[in-house]
Amino acid sequence: MFLSNPYATDLVMEYLQKELIENGNLRDVLEHYPSQQNALCEEFSKALHVKSENLFIGNGAIEIIQALMQQVVDKKAVVPIPTFSSYYEFAKQDSQVVYYALDQQNDYKFNTNHFIDFIQNENPDTVILINPNNPNGAYLKLDEMRTILKALKDVKQIIIDESFIHFAYDDEAMELIDSTPLFYEFNNVIVVKSLSKDFGVAGVRLGYALMKEELVKGLLSKGYLWNLNGIAETILKFFSQKQFQNRYEIIRKNYIIECQNFFKGLENIPGIYVYPSQANFALIKLPSYIPSSLFVAYLLYEYGIYVRTANDKIGLDGEYVRIAVRRAEENEQMLNAIGLVMEQF
Amino acid sequence: MFLSNPYATDLVMEYLQKELIENGNLRDVLEHYPSQQNALCEEFSKALHVKSENLFIGNGAIEIIQALMQQVVDKKAVVPIPTFSSYYEFAKQDSQVVYYALDQQNDYKFNTNHFIDFIQNENPDTVILINPNNPNGAYLKLDEMRTILKALKDVKQIIIDESFIHFAYDDEAMELIDSTPLFYEFNNVIVVKSLSKDFGVAGVRLGYALMKEELVKGLLSKGYLWNLNGIAETILKFFSQKQFQNRYEIIRKNYIIECQNFFKGLENIPGIYVYPSQANFALIKLPSYIPSSLFVAYLLYEYGIYVRTANDKIGLDGEYVRIAVRRAEENEQMLNAIGLVMEQF
């Protein structure tokens, strides 16, 4: 199941339909070379309200993660676990990855002071923070993040991955949160952002990062010249359009409500423990007598619903499943099916 | 002007129209994660008749060139010039690039023995051979290539870039040439292939390489997990279809004839020297009293035709212009316009 907002896919597809199919621009976009990295950054930086020299646009966030882990990490990176595996799988061969185990008793949420102590003891050059975290969805508010960053000014670089931040909220207004202010406040911050999840276009491959100008220059000296395809470039242009932004904001907020309703529905199913999430997925823990692989197989074969076991994640010990939130009607079906499956055991 | 076969773009667009637009699969292809690298290689290796463990698929050939120059070149690479600039611009910081200057007197063609001597003296770990070469289009036949490879068995790796090989031919049957046999004959060969030029879809970002299994594994350990977008993956599938292959072959051969006719037309324009090309572009030398920048500006402003000066290419000294071959009617217009511009001087 894709970790993406299907309503946002609707919106992007509507715009692509108009821009590429009805206006007959699809051929142009596929035949011609896409714009080069620096031209794209120049244009997209305005929509993001950042300086173009701090922007790096990637063929999906994964290309950026790869570049950072291979070329920016120096000797030692701390990665909290459980988390997105590419942060340790793509670590540079001669670098060390130290895991910081999030505490199950604390719902895998960050204990800010404990984490700061850990980092100060380990003295790494790079710290990774995924906010909200994947696979559990725990969210660090901006002021907690600021507390961490203030204490860790001496760390060479702190990578904040905000791939799921569009699904988080600080209060019921649910305004868009992003770490751009933190980026300009602390000079060791790197922000990584996937656009696959919130805009629902994983097949397009589109992400970006904010980083110091010297880091951007370092990466560009190694390549990344034409790393975006024509469809991705077309979508980048939408982000500058006020009408698109406004419509997206409504869709985003509605989907957050849908996510939180779904999580409440899950909590009501006896036997399932749901970790608090401000992402668009929930990590659930099954009773130890229900193998997560069996649970997943049951859901797939009986109800055609695909969810993912999270047992392979380093840092998770037990029977875990990650469930992505889809459209309202599909979520309703999922809740029913999960309830029925749980009754089988 | 794009260095691509516009008739092939027609064909790919016809297939995409059917597969994505009429069959309604566009959304699926953009919403879902694309297949991972190893799954793509597994599938595409059959169409290429190579072993899947030797295949590496890139987000355009440029991603592969970047990976090779940054991660595979050891200490010293020899790059013949003039050539495609990324081969020296993206060289690893602590590696050395040695230029082998192709001889203008010999139309920038390879002098096989001279080149072998040069390499044996320099003793590099990596040799780059672009065949046909860009920007001049000079083509080394497979048996000349074999002579070079036999003599250079001790070089750690020889990168053969065949991005324009679909426009080359050994005789009037114009069968498709490729270095797969050389790859399996010599264990130091790496083949790089852009698919942007021959299939006319630069905006899609699609290329591949053949290399030793250990090199593929080395790259995959660093990332390249989801580096292809959904449109690129869709096009990869076409290559396995016999009907697509057959139609492409007809288009390819016709376009070669068109290219060669265009080059003959250029040769007939007084004052222009045309370097022999088996690519889909021609490098021309203007008389020294015609600045290439003026020539290019003239063509653009008077006739709306865009050609590219090649004066920025390292290894070219004089007034050079590279002209890409387009459709028959456009080529006719170009020839007329170039003839008229030349009469102005």
- B60 in contact with chain A, both atoms CB, cutoff 8 A: yes
Strand partners, A309: A321
Of A31, A63, A231, the CB nearest to B30: A231
Interface-testing mutation among B12, B14, B16, B27, with chain A (most A C-beta atoms within 10 A): B27
- Residues 6 or more apart whose CB falls under 8 angstroms from that of A43 comprise A35, A236, A237, A240
How many angstroms separate the CA atoms of B230 and A148, rounded? 39
| Chain B residue with Cα closest to A27 | B13
Q: Which of B93, B202, B226 sits opposite A60 (nearest CB)?
A: B226
Do A245 and B87 contact (CB within 8 A), yes or no? Answer: no
For residue A338, name the pLDDT band (cuts at 50, 70, 90). Answer: very high
Task: Measure the CA–CA gap between B15 and B29, rounded to whole angstroms.
Answer: 14
Per-residue pLDDT at A75:
96
The pLDDT of residue A311 is 81
% of chain B surpassing 70 pLDDT: 100
Q: Which residue of A has its CA nearest to B20?
A: A21
Tens of pLDDT, residue by residue over A3-42, are: 899 999 999 999 999 999 999 999 999 999 999 999 999 9
CA dist A249 → A174, A194, A235 (Å): 10, 17, 16
pLDDT band, residue A246 (cuts 50/70/90) = very high
The yes-or-no verdict on residue B216 having pLDDT over 70 is yes
- Answer whether B231 touches A (CB < 8 Å): yes
Q: Check A2 against B33: CB less than 8 A apart.
A: yes
Sign, CA dihedral B5-B308-B168-B213, equals: negative
The secondary element (H helix, E strand) that includes residue A173 is: none
The secondary structure element, H or E, covering residue A8 is helix A6-16
3-class secondary structure, A174: coil
The answer to whether B255 touches B271, Cβ cutoff 8 Å, is: no
Question: A203, B230: Cβ pair inside 8 Å?
Answer: yes
Spatial separation of the C-alpha atoms in residues B83 and B131, rounded to whole Å: 10
pLDDT computed for residue A53 by the predictor? 97
Nearest chain A alpha carbon to B226: A62
| Whole-number Å distance between alpha carbons of A29 and B216 | 30
The answer to whether the Cβ–Cβ distance between A204 and B2 falls below 8 Å is no
CA distances, A31 to each of A320, B1, B7, B16, B262 (Å): 45, 11, 11, 12, 21
B30 part of contact set with chain A, CB < 8 Å: yes
DSSP state of B22: I
Interface test with A, best of B225, B228, B330 (most A CBs within 10 A): B225
Contact A158, A152 (CB under 8 A): yes
Cβ–Cβ below 8 Å for A205 and B221: no
φ, ψ at A160 (rounded to 5°): -105, 115
Distance CA A267, CA B2 (A): 57
Q: Rounded to 5 degrees, what angle do the CA atoms B10, B12, B16 make? A: 115
Q: Is B289 a residue whose pLDDT tops 70? A: yes
Q: How far is residue B332's CA from residue B328's CA, in Å, rounded to a whole number? A: 6
As for the ipTM of the complex, it is: 0.92
Compute the mean pLDDT over every residue in chain B, rounded to the nearest whole number. 95
In this structure, the dihedral spanned by the alpha carbons of residues A273, A275, A276 and A279, taken in order and rounded to 10 degrees, is -130
Using CA coordinates, name the residue in chain B closest to A205.
B229
Taking Cα atoms as reference points, which of A34, A5, A66, A24 lies closest to residue A235?
A34
Selected residues 211-230 of chain A with any CB under 8 Å from a CB in chain B:
221-230
Q: Global pTM?
A: 0.93
CB < 8 Å to A65, chain B: 223
- 């805009």: which residue's tokens? A199
Nearest Cα of chain B lies from the Cα of A196 at a distance, in angstroms, of 8
Find chain A residues with C-beta within 8 A of B4's C-beta.
31
pLDDT level of residue A275 (50, 70, 90 thresholds): very high
